[in-house]
């Protein structure tokens, strides 16, 4: 299999904002620092300096972003450029973007070494499939068994963990749920653990659909969750008690009115993936559509909104 590698050369100040965004649209992000930056950051940099300086960017940082070979890279590059155009970033005019196709490398499995069980909310605990046998849990824990593969949704990204906290708070046994942009399937599995079998999970990305199906089987909930390829709620005709979407602000904005129509009275819209700069605008749009804002959560520059159809 081949991969697309997009390299973005920029100032170090832009690292957090860009990598947070790029993590949500790609299959993986890695940051390369220049030796000058490493010199400032590492006390013991002997080992680093034995490496060839050619392996590091000459100045600033390089953000490497990976996409699988099925992606439309012209569209992805345009999306990234549009984000850079809108975001509040340092020295935008100096940002350089290059793109190349590379052969599959073992980094596809490398991240597994760093992914371990962790508690994400009062009761939800994420347990990687390879740690299931050894995990010692409490009676009240709700275990989400996960092998996220190359789909987004390991639970450690703030946009996902805030959704899990809202799910824990709002989903009641028997509620009907739609999880738009399911990724690894993590939020649908969480909804099932709250006691409902009325769940629909959708994604526009075929690789995510495949990974979500594997995770539903792993969690023994494939009978409770209907999985479909879909673009937001555009073709949706069902009614739901809770609509969940952890995508990006401009995508959430596109689905606010449809979410209102698809919800039952007093149903909840859990919206996440919204950068802090855009959350006021999203809340205004929600209110215009008829929603009442019940709660907002903020973590590391990301906002999640719990809105109720009143
Ligand atoms: C940030 S990930 C969220 C994954 C998971 N729900 C979570 O909370 O961790 C966003 C997901 O939305 C999907 N997505 C993006 N645009 C979409 C669209 N227009 N319709 C449906 N899914 C979409 C992506 O493929 C990706 O799997």
Q: Verify that 305 and 181 share a domain, yes or no.
A: yes
CATH code (residue 28) = 3.30.70
For the chain, how many structural domains are there in total? 2
DSSP 70: T
**Of 63, 80, 105, which marks where a domain is finished?**
105
**Residue 258 contacts residue 234 (beta carbons within 8 Å):** yes
Integer Rg of the chain from CA: 20
Find the angle CA(281)-CA(248)-CA(234) to the nearest 5 degrees. Answer: 95
Q: Verify that 88 and 212 share a domain, yes or no.
A: no
- 183 — phi, psi (to 5°)? 60, -120
Q: Verify that 185 and 285 share a domain, yes or no.
A: yes
Q: Verify that 283 and 161 share a domain, yes or no.
A: yes
Q: Verify that 176 and 99 share a domain, yes or no.
A: no
Give the separation between CA 3 and CA 28, rounded to whole angstroms. 11
**Residue 15 contacts residue 63 (beta carbons within 8 Å):** yes
Q: Which residues line ligand 1 (CB under 6 A)?
A: 24, 151-153, 160, 163, 180-183, 186-187, 202-205, 208, 231-232, 246-247, 251, 273
Tokens of 258: 């449809």
Q: Verify that 194 and 271 share a domain, yes or no.
A: yes
**Of 46, 79, 105, which marks where a domain is finished?**
105
Cβ atoms within 10 Å, residue 110:
11
Q: Verify that 99 and 191 share a domain, yes or no.
A: no
* Spacing, Cα 173 to ligand 1 middle (Å): 25
Q: Verify that 27 and 99 share a domain, yes or no.
A: yes
Tokens of 279: 């959350």
Domain annotation covers residue 97: yes
Q: Verify that 87 and 226 share a domain, yes or no.
A: no
* Spacing, Cα 106 to ligand 1 middle (Å): 25
Q: Verify that 97 and 166 share a domain, yes or no.
A: no
What range defines the domain where residue 277 resides?
156-309
Residue nearest to ligand 1 atom 8, measured at CA: 160
| Mean pLDDT score of the chain | 88
Question: Going by DSSP bridges, is the β-strand pair 198-203/225-229 parallel, antiparallel, or unpaired?
Answer: parallel
Q: Verify that 100 and 160 share a domain, yes or no.
A: no
Please give the pLDDT value at position 194.
98
Please give the pLDDT value at position 297.
98
Please give the pLDDT value at position 48.
43
ipTM above 0.85, yes or no: yes
Mutate to test the pocket of ligand 1, among 192, 203, 255 (most ligand atoms within 8 A of CB): 203
Please give the pLDDT value at position 107.
54
Q: Verify that 170 and 304 share a domain, yes or no.
A: yes
Please give the pLDDT value at position 40.
58
Count, in order, helices (H) and strands (E) of the chain.
Answer: 10, 14
Please give the pLDDT value at position 43.
47
pLDDT beneath 70: ranges in the chain: 35-56, 104-114, 148-151
DSSP 102: E
Domain annotation covers residue 185: yes
Helices 186-193 and 206-218, interaxial angle, to 10°?
30
Domain annotation covers residue 84: yes
Task: List b or e across 122-153, with b for residues whose CB sees 16 or more CB atoms inside 10 angstroms.
Answer: ebbbbbbeeeeeeeeeeeebbbbbbbbbbbbb
Which residue's structure tokens are 């009761």? 123
Domain annotation covers residue 111: no
Give the separation between CA 183 and CA 246, rounded to whole angstroms. 9
Please give the pLDDT value at position 146.
87
pLDDT digit string, tens, across residues 36-49: 666 555 444 444 44
Please give the pLDDT value at position 54.
63
* 181 annotated as belonging to a binding site for a ligand: yes
CATH code (residue 273) = 3.40.50.150
Which of these, 230, 292, 224, 275, lies nearest to 255 by C-alpha position? 230
Please give the pLDDT value at position 55.
61
């Amino acid at each position: 299999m081949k991969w697309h590698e997009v390299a973005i050369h920029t100032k170090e100040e832009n690292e957090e904002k860009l990598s947070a965004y790029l993590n949500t649209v790609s299959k993986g992000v890695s940051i390369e620092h220049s030796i000058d930056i490493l010199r400032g950051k590492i006390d013991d940099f002997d080992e680093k300096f034995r490496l060839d300086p050619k392996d590091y960017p000459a100045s600033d940082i390089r953000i490497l972003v990976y996409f699988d070979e099925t992606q439309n890279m012209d569209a992805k590059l345009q999306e990234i450029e549009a984000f850079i155009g809108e975001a509040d970033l340092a020295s935008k005019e100096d940002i350089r973007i290059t793109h190349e196709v590379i052969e599959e490398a073992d980094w596809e499995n490398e991240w597994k070494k760093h992914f371990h069980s962790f508690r994400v909310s009062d009761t939800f605990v994420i347990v990687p499939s390879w740690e299931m046998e050894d995990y010692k849990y409490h009676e009240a824990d709700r275990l989400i068994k996960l092998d996220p593969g190359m789909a987004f949704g390991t639970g450690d990204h703030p946009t996902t963990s805030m959704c899990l906290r809202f799910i824990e708070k709002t989903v009641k046994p028997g509620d009907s749920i739609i999880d738009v942009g399911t990724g690894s399937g993590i939020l649908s599995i969480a909804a099932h653990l709250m006691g409902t079998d009325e769940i629909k999970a959708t994604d526009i990305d075929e690789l995510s659909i495949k990974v979500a199906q594997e995770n539903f089987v792993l969690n023994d909930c494939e009978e409770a969750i209907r999985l479909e390829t879909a673009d937001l709620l555009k073709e949706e005709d069902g009614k739901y008690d809770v609509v969940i979407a952890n995508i990006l602000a401009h995508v959430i904005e596109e689905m606010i009115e449809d979410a209102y129509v698809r919800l039952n009275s007093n149903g909840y819209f859990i919206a996440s993936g919204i950068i802090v700069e855009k959350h006021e605008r999203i809340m205004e749009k929600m209110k215009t559509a008829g929603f009442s804002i019940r709660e907002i959560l903020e973590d590391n520059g990301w906002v999640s909104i719990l809105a109720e159809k009143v």
